[in-house]
């Protein structure tokens, strides 16, 4: 079989189908656009939320390990080396007593109190610390358990410090956002799939005589199926394009014309559009396969 005329045939019939059943095509494009828009908004919102949470997470993913005053620099380096090596640790920074005092002074307004203590001969009360920046918020408590057994730590009641309660809360938010987003995308995808299946089944019904003749004269399933699959892909991709334009347009509106979708950068917008098009095309082809299957049974 010569592929070029075969592809021409497929393209011609697919376009013919869409034009012949314009009403159905427009209706399915509108509905699929709306559903893809729902999915797109869900993805953008989850992404924005994710961004916020990640900033929070990065701040919360710090384990401060306070050092006993007698610990020498070599031991600290040793501890850093031992604990800094696990895969979960992104980086480790050392904060000496003076830096700690400075930090406490500026962020807590305790400069005068510290100065007072130092002048009274009690010295700098703040311990030096190793600050571990972890890649994953979940690893914080685990590393904390390991560190606490070390003899090098400050002997006070709080030898380490991390933002304990923020962690489960953040985890919960992230989980809910992802679950919600996933749910929306799933439901919306299922709806779009059903619509395309129905639309193709209708097109197959309209063309039933043609399909019957094709089978009688010995056309292969290929010739019956592929125009419908292409039709589904065209409808899906057009819907995705319309949804993208609306999504980005609304995003631009929100961002005062300066930034794309909800202040999220161009790369993410590009990925979203691409994902919508792929999703539209995939929905179209799968829906068509299902929709036309019944017509191929004999």
Partner 1 sequence: MSISTSPPPPVVKAATAGSSSLARSEPPIIVFEKVSKVYANGQAAIRDASFTVRPRDFVFVVGASVAGKSTVIRLLIREERATQGHVLVEGQDLARLKHRHLPRLRRKMGIVFQDFKLLPALTVEQNVAFAIQVTDPGRPHLKEKVGEALYIVGLEDKLNAFPTELSGGEQQRVAIARALVHRPRIFLADEPTGNLDPDAGWGIVQLLQQINHRGATVVMATHNREVVDLCRRRVLAIEDGRIVRDESEGAYLRDGDAIL
Of 24-32, 130-138, 206-214, 268-276, which segment contacts partner 1 by CB under 8 A? 206-214
CB atoms within 10 A of CB 209: 8
Tell me which of 173, 223, 268, 289 binds partner 1, using CB under 8 A. 223
Which whole-number Å values give the CA distances from 217 to 13, 14, 84, 204, 223, in the listed order?
17, 20, 73, 18, 12
Tell me which of 6, 30, 179, 245 binds partner 1, using CB under 8 A. 6
Q: Is 215 in the site for partner 1 (CB under 8 A)?
A: yes
Least distance (Å) between residue 37 CB and partner 1? 36
* Sheet strands (E) in the chain: 62-66, 89-95, 129-134, 160-161
CA distance 166 to 55: 13
**Hey, which residues does 89 pair with through a beta bridge?**
134
CA angle 18-20-21, nearest 5°?
65
Least distance (Å) between residue 230 CB and partner 1? 15
Least distance (Å) between residue 291 CB and partner 1? 19
Q: Is 179 in the site for partner 1 (CB under 8 A)?
A: no
Q: Is 94 in the site for partner 1 (CB under 8 A)?
A: no
Task: Give 165's DSSP letter.
Answer: T
CB 228 within 8 A of CB 288: yes
Q: Is 22 in the site for partner 1 (CB under 8 A)?
A: no
Of 1-9, 49-57, 233-241, 274-282, which segment contacts partner 1 by CB under 8 A? 1-9
Of 4-12, 101-109, 178-186, 194-202, which segment contacts partner 1 by CB under 8 A? 4-12
Helix (H, G, I), strand (E, B) or coil at 110: coil
Q: Is 8 in the site for partner 1 (CB under 8 A)?
A: yes
Of 192-200, 211-219, 233-241, 256-264, which segment contacts partner 1 by CB under 8 A? 211-219
Helix or strand (DSSP H, E) at 35: helix 22-60
Radius of gyration of the chain (CA): 31
Least distance (Å) between residue 281 CB and partner 1? 25
**CB-based burial, 116-150: b 16+ in 10 Å, e otherwise:** ebeeeeeebebbbbbebebeebebbeebbeebeeb
Q: Is 220 in the site for partner 1 (CB under 8 A)?
A: yes
Q: Is 15 in the site for partner 1 (CB under 8 A)?
A: no
Tell me which of 87, 122, 151, 217 binds partner 1, using CB under 8 A. 217
Q: Which residues bind partner 1 (CB under 8 A)?
A: 1-2, 4-6, 8-9, 209-210, 212-221, 223, 298
């Amino acid at each position: 079989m010569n592929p070029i005329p075969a592809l021409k045939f497929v393209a011609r019939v697919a376009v013919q189908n869409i034009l012949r059943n314009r009403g159905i095509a427009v209706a399915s494009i509108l509905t699929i656009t709306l559903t893809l828009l729902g999915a797109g908004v869900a993805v953008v919102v989850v992404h924005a939320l994710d961004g916020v949470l990640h900033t929070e997470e990065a701040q919360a993913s710090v384990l401060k390990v306070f050092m006993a005053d007698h610990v020498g620099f070599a031991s600290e380096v040793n501890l850093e080396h031992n604990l800094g090596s696990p895969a979960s640790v992104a980086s480790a920074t050392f904060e000496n007593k003076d830096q700690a005092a400075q930090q406490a002074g500026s962020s807590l307004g305790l400069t005068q109190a510290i100065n007072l203590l130092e002048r009274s001969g009690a010295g700098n009360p703040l311990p030096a610390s190793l600050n571990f920046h972890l890649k994953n918020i979940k690893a914080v408590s685990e590393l904390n358990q390991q560190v606490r057994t070390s003899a090098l730590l400050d002997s006070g009641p709080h030898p380490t410090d991390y933002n304990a309660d923020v962690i489960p809360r953040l985890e919960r938010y992230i989980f809910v956002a992802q679950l919600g987003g996933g749910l929306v995308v799933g439901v919306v995808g299922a709806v779009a799939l059903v619509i395309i299946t129905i639309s193709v089944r209708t097109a197959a019904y309209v063309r039933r005589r043609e399909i019957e003749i094709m089978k009688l004269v010995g056309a292969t399933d290929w010739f019956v199926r592929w125009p419908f699959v292409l039709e589904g892909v065209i409808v899906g991709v057009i819907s995705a394009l319309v949804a993208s334009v609306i999504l980005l347009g609304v995003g631009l509106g929100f961002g005062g014309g300066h930034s794309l979708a909800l202040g999220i950068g161009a790369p993410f917008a590009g990925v979203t559009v691409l994902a919508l098009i792929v999703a539209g095309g995939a929905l179209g082809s799968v829906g068509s396969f299902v929709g036309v299957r019944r017509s191929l049974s004999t």
